[in-house]
Amino acid sequence: MESRALAQLLGPVEIRQLAEKLDVTPTKKLGQNFVHDPNTVRMIVAAADVSEHDHVVEVGPGLGSLTLALLDTVKDVTAVEIDPRLAGELPHTVAWRAPDYADNLRIILKDALQVSTGDFEAAGAPMPTALVANLPYNVSVPVLLHLLAEFPSITRVLVMVQAEVADRLAATPGSKIYGVPSVKAAFYGEVRRAGSIGRNVFWPAPKIESGLVRIDRFAAGDEPWPLNDETRAKVFPLIDAAFAQRRKTLRAALSGHFGGGAQAEAALVAAGIAPSERGEKLGVADFVRLAGVTQ
């Protein structure tokens, strides 16, 4: 890869040229804000710690700012885009700004919440080893959790999301902002805040701040609990129930799940959890243990 020319990244002028060419107006519905600062996308790629061995999935590539920076560094990129205009233009942008990497890009025109391993196989794309993306802010958490579940091959995640969402994802038990996204993300691996992004690197400039979240999936063979569909199907409903009314005790919050307060209390005691505790105090291991009791 060293012998290839570096991609020419997109700046404010190129972003506006492309948007005008495509008659694209960033929409709130799709959570679109286009990054026009080359230094920012370089920083995101560096924070992702990806290499020439990685197969990256990027959700919502937009006009291609991050895509170009990724192609400079990784083996290949599969971009999942819901907007046909953007998906259609991206190969031309890569051919224009990074011709040496044109063959390393694949595009799947689909809603990221519906994308599957079958879509990757149909596109001739390798299973991704990393997710690096400026996620659409209106569906960032559902998309993140869907991809972690659908692609066990993803070992590393670096996503840009709304700052408030980044804080919630990285929150720890006992925090006021700790909730369902925090626990479900931590089910898969180590989650941490990886930086902040200012508003002025976007066009149009959003009204909110943005943040980076890094997730390193538990290594195969060293998982604290099975990261499979069966375990997730038992654990995630418990998480949802525990936080549905977060001021309730776990005995009360889980009574519906277990068929009554007495049954909920018995399960909690068997799992070594105080029935008077609240969901915000429990870590993933507690929920996994509780799910094991109720098998």
Residue 254 per-residue DSSP state = T
Q: For residue 82, which amino acid is it?
A: I
The neighbouring-strand residues paired with 106 are 78
**How wide is the angle at C-alpha 55 spanned by C-alphas 51 and 56, nearest 5°?**
90
Is 277 annotated to bind a ligand? Reply is no
Is 138 annotated to bind a ligand? Reply is no
Among the listed residues 214, 213, 215, 212, the one whose alpha carbon sits nearest the alpha carbon of residue 201: 212
Among the listed residues 101, 111, 153, the one whose alpha carbon sits nearest the alpha carbon of residue 130: 153
**Is the Cα dihedral 103, 25, 27, 45 positive or negative?**
positive
Distances (CA, A) of 211 to 40, 140, 173, 224, 293: 12, 12, 20, 28, 37
Is 33 annotated to bind a ligand? Reply is yes
Is 115 annotated to bind a ligand? Reply is no
Q: Which residues 6+ apart lie within 8 Å of 116 measured at CB?
A: 150
Binding-site residues: 33, 35, 60, 81, 111, 134
Binding-site residues for S-adenosyl-L-methionine: 33, 35, 60, 81, 111, 134
